Amino acid sequence: MQDARRHDIDVFPIDVQCSDWDNTLITREEEPPAIQLGLRQVRGFSEEVARRMMVARAQRPFADIADLCARAAVDKRDQDLLAQASALRGLSQHRHHAH
């Protein structure tokens, strides 16, 4: 990631609203490509939970933390891991409300 930053490639943080399991290259018109960090970057987070989140998110964006947890069966442990990684910032509630 530091190499990407050295080459002026934007690196977007982990976000439950847009991160897949793997890091993703984002191509943008009239702007250089960017990298969206993936959920695999969340230490201790399982690919199975990430896949459930991606399936639920494909139907519609998550409205809030409660919606994420209900639709993707995210338990308290996984919710805490996401909060510690600041991956919940794309939701309407702030990180400190996620605990």
d(CA 45, CA 82): 8
Q: Is the pLDDT of residue 97 over 50?
A: no
Q: Tell me the pLDDT tens digit for each residue of 65-90.
A: 999 999 999 999 999 999 999 999 98
Do residues 36 and 24 touch, judged by C-beta distance below 8 A? Answer: yes
The stretch 2-18 carries a mean pLDDT of 83
Sheet of 31-36, strand order? 10-12, 31-36, 24-28
Do residues 93 and 17 touch, judged by C-beta distance below 8 A? Answer: no
Domain ranges across the chain: 2-36, 44-97
In degrees to the nearest 10, what's the CA dihedral of 81, 83, 84, 86?
Answer: 130
